[in-house]
């Protein structure tokens, strides 16, 4: 798995933990609980609380409208009289006296020009500006104001600017992770289109004159399958919804295979409501048909199972087809070969969403069929399933 994907997963984890800490700390501070311990403990909790509040507003970058709300907790963090966040294009978010805005712009211009911290004495307030360097460029400047700028404030402003830069880079990594997942999903849809659509339409055409009623049913199956596969929104679905689409897919393939294709479902009722990534099981079934059973003269059987295992829902797709060399499987999951793009894309997506512990588990050998195991968390409060209307 590539570095950016690891970093994207880490980004989501860090932000999630930080926000959770912030909620807990806000509750405890509001109660004024004596459980916070010493003055040092309270100072630590206060710092984490303010940092978590600011992080929430930096999530969409310095150019976002929400960045102005980050200025107040950052000012409180530094114990400055006023604080400004100035973007590279000159936009100013200021917490404190509005008369300091020209001073903030002036200090920021100096920092943007040099890429280094700058301290300046003013008529009313002194100021220190520190660059927010993210992605190798100065994205903005943090400017803190005080009656007298002393070395501790200079150092602390620099640290806060570096922390802001880290939040921006985490946000960019999260955006990259989301874009990559969407690209993988588009690739899956593109992969379905040329191979399957051609075969499905050919099968439908073959029944038009000999069995018009069967042709009509297949047209409806084709419409249901394509409507589900190419729907415009929703990165998650339920297992029940995906199984309905798989039923349409199997009916279309049976029009080609006839009795050579058999599919058995062994689905525990409680697993039907499991939230799964959209188009995560159907590509496994298609892979079993195309690469497992189609090369066999007599076809074969696919068994789809699903059951809850503790905090996980385990879904397996097993065929008794030609099988593969395990070394070839390991290679195809990391290569850009186009023959197993569905299998690889599903593996990539579940790794991005749930971590490497949820990578596809593939058991296979030449002549012995293939079993693919997919495991997803039973509880996914942040992932809302988009359910298709039957």
pLDDT digits (tens, 9 = 90+) for 92-111: 888 888 889 899 999 999 99
Query: Which helix (H) or strand (E) segment is 70 a member of?
Result: helix 68-78
List pLDDT tens digits, range 43-75. 666 666 676 766 666 766 666 566 667 888 888
How far out from the chain centre does Cα 172 lie?
A: 12
Question: How confident is residue 226, by pLDDT bands cut at 50, 70 and 90?
Answer: confident
Report d(CA 385, CA 342) in Å as an integer: 21
pLDDT of residue 267: 96
Query: Hey, what are 278's tokens?
Result: 């959209």
Q: What is the mean pLDDT of the chain?
A: 79
Q: How many H-runs (helices) and E-runs (strands) does the chain carry?
A: 10, 12
**Angle at the Cα of 73 (from 72 to 78), degrees rounded to 5?**
100
Question: The whole model's pTM is what?
Answer: 0.55
Of 183-192, 335-344, 358-367, the range with the lowest mean pLDDT is 183-192
Place of tokens 């922390």: 163
CA–CA distance, 25 with 358 (Å, rounded to integer): 32
Alpha-carbon gap, residue 77 to 51, rounded angstroms: 8
Section 14-36 average pLDDT: 47
Alpha-carbon span 197 to 249, nearest angstrom: 10
What is the DSSP pairing of strand 275-277 with strand 82-87?
A: unpaired
Residue 210 to residues 198, 214, 215, 216, Cα–Cα distance (Å): 20, 9, 9, 12
Range from 249-253, 287-291, 313-317, 333-337 that averages highest in pLDDT? 313-317
CB 108 within 8 A of CB 86: yes
Residues 86 and 109: their CA atoms lie apart, in Å, by 9
The pLDDT of 219-234, averaged and rounded, is 78
């Amino acid at each position: 798995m590539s570095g950016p994907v690891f970093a994207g997963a880490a980004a989501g984890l860090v932000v999630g933990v930080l926000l959770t800490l912030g909620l807990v700390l806000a509750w405890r501070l509001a109660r004024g609980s004596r459980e916070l311990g010493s003055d040092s403990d309270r100072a630590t909790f206060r710092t984490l609380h303010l940092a978590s509040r600011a992080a929430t507003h930096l999530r969409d970058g310095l150019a976002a409208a929400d960045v102005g709300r980050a200025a107040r907790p950052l000012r409180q963090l530094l114990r400055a009289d006023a604080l400004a966040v100035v973007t590279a294009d000159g936009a100013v978010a200021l917490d404190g006296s509005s008369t300091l805005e020209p001073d903030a712009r002036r200090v920021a211009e100096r920092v943007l020009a040099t890429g280094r911290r700058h301290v300046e004495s003013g008529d009313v307030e002194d100021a220190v500006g520190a660059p927010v360097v993210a992605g190798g460029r100065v994205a903005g400047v943090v400017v803190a104001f005080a009656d007298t700028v002393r070395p501790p404030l200079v150092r602390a402003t620099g640290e806060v600017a570096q922390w802001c830069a880290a939040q921006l880079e985490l946000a960019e990594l999260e955006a990259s992770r989301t874009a990559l997942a969407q690209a993988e999903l588009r690739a899956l849809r593109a992969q379905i289109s040329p191979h399957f659509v051609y075969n499905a339409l050919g099968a439908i055409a073959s029944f038009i004159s000999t069995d018009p009623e069967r042709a009509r049913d297949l047209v409806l199956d084709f419409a249901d399958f394509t409507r589900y596969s190419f729907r415009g929104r929703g990165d998650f679905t339920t297992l029940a919804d995906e199984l309905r689409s798989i039923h349409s897919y199997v009916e279309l393939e049976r029009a080609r295979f006839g009795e050579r294709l058999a599919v058995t479902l062994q689905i525990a009722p409680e697993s039907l409501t499991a939230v799964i990534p959209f188009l995560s099981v159907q590509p496994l079934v298609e892979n079993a048909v195309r690469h497992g059973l189609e090369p066999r003269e007599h076809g074969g059987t696919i068994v789809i199972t699903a059951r809850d295992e503790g905090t996980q829902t385990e879904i397996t797709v097993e065929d008794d087809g030609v099988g593969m060399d395990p070394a070839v499987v390991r290679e195809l999951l990391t290569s850009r070969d186009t023959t197993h793009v569905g299998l690889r894309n599903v593996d990539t997506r579940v790794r991005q969403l749930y971590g490497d512990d949820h990578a596809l588990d593939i058991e296979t050998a030449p002549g012995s069929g293939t079993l693919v195991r997919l495991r997803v968390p039973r509880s996914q409060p942040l992932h809302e399933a988009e359910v298709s209307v039957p």
